[in-house]
Amino acid sequence: MKRLALLPILLVVTFLWPLQSALADTNVAGSATASASYTSSWESVAAINDGIDPPSSNDTVNRRWGTWPNTGSQWAELTWTSAQGLRSADVYFFDDGGGVRVPSSWKLQYWTGSAYADISASYPVAANTYNKVSFTQVSTTRLRVVLQSGQGSVGLLEVRAFAADAPPSGSGWNPPGNLVTPLNEVWQHQESTYPNLYGFRNYGWDQVMANGGSINYCVRWDTGATVTAAQRDQIHATLARQFKKWMDLMAGHNNWPYTNVPLKVVGWAVRDRAQLQWNDNSVDIYVGNIRENAPQCSEPCGRFFNQNGTYPNCPGGPSHHYDMSLWLTAGFGGGAGGDWGQRIGSEYYMSNLNTDNVHILLHEMGHSFGLDDFYDWTPTGVGGFLMKAGSAAQITDFDAWMFRDWWRHLKSRYGR
């Protein structure tokens, strides 16, 4: 992309993996009530959350949960009186080498309020240790461990269920301890990769702050398709929802001054006015201004072309300026992002208008706020995350803290 200015582009995103971020959170199992599909009369299901770390899988000292002589699919679960934000669990199997053995396989399920849903993760099976599982955070009142028996009946000695720490608030820099090292690695990597990191003045941060807490977009409709007024409004709403996911990470954090950063689409650029099937004047319309072989909104109104933040030649005046472009190109795979905005496939965008996480757009928005790609390295101790293309389909905790780290390093330029 010629107008990249600073930031790299994304290649094609193909695979979506569950998140694998190991997080040192709070074990909330002790506040739950344990129950099970079946419990041998001499065992106790209360063993699974009594807080006692087993000496081994063949624990002959502490109480245990076991299902002998029953086999097949067996479960034990934890029930809380209020919803917990769970995102990892440790499970210690009971195995006496005789009638009770480690399972052939197992999984976690959570209660959605009306049914049990499988938790997508990788599930190790090992004796004499905690089997650790991380997963995309779920909010639930019940966590179920489902065991499929193997060479005998099954059982558990202890289950730990970890809830996310309280969200950041107030002033200061307070990332979870396990993210401090990888965050420092990322920042040092960026500093060494981009010599003009601190001189650059057109990050999304600069744009939002220059507007006093809002952002304006113009749509580059780089396709021959038509758009109805209803589709236009959906396109705007989807863009605003995705942008809000990033901005909500900042509310109340480290002197970020806004609780809400509204997004407004002020214009559309198109090859042929007849493609736009509305007659109202709710947005400015730019016809036939072809740049990079694509329709472009008026340069005098664009932040990229007026980085001092004044728009003397924008026909509608400064309120009609746009900070970023949403560039939707027919047949475009993957995406690109930078201070100028985001470019993604028009078909992808239109087929994801009702998707919760339009992950390619979210990734490219990350670039617009300075976040880097991770094609050739991974920070220590973190698994999948949005900015490592293909490894996550939503903003993870690590993405959130990288995002906040940009604010930490730039905020002094805004007197914060």
Instruction: Kindly list the residues in this chain that would bind Zn ion in the complex (CB under 5 A).
Output: 10, 373
Residue from 268, 278, 247, 266 nearest 369 by CA: 247
CB of 395 to Zn ion, least distance (A): 14
CB of 280 to Zn ion, least distance (A): 36
Assigned token pair, 345: 């496939």
- Quick one: 222 or 373, whose CB is closer to Zn ion? 373
- Quick one: 266 or 386, whose CB is closer to Zn ion? 386
CB of 343 to Zn ion, least distance (A): 11
Distances (CA, A) of 209 to 65, 71, 213, 336: 57, 62, 6, 23
Give the CB-nearest residue to Zn ion: 10
CB of 118 to Zn ion, least distance (A): 30
Amino acid at site 367:
H
How far apart (Å, rounded) are the C-alpha atoms in residues 326 and 340? 9
Is 145 within 8 Å of 106 (Cβ atoms)?
yes
State residue 329 phi and psi, 5-degree precision. Answer: -115, 130
- Quick one: 373 or 399, whose CB is closer to Zn ion? 373
If you write DSSP's letter for every residue of 126-192 in order, what string do you get?
Answer: -SSSEEEEEEEEEEEEEEEEEEE-SSSB-EEEEEEEEEPPPPP-BSS----HHHHHHHHHHHHHHHH
State whether residue 209 is helix, strand or coil: helix
- Quick one: 89 or 371, whose CB is closer to Zn ion? 371
- Quick one: 25 or 373, whose CB is closer to Zn ion? 373
Is 271 within 8 Å of 295 (Cβ atoms)?
yes
Residue holding tokens 């993996």?
17
CB of 372 to Zn ion, least distance (A): 8
CB of 8 to Zn ion, least distance (A): 6
- Quick one: 10 or 23, whose CB is closer to Zn ion? 10
CB of 283 to Zn ion, least distance (A): 28
Burial class (CB in 10 A: 0-12, 13-18, 19+), 76: buried
- Quick one: 10 or 143, whose CB is closer to Zn ion? 10
State residue 373 phi and psi, 5-degree precision. Answer: -90, 165
- Quick one: 161 or 389, whose CB is closer to Zn ion? 389
CB of 405 to Zn ion, least distance (A): 17
Q: Which residues pair with 240 in a beta bridge?
A: none
Assigned token pair, 171: 């002033």
CB of 367 to Zn ion, least distance (A): 6
**Omega before residue 55 within 30° of 0, cis:** no
- Quick one: 121 or 361, whose CB is closer to Zn ion? 361
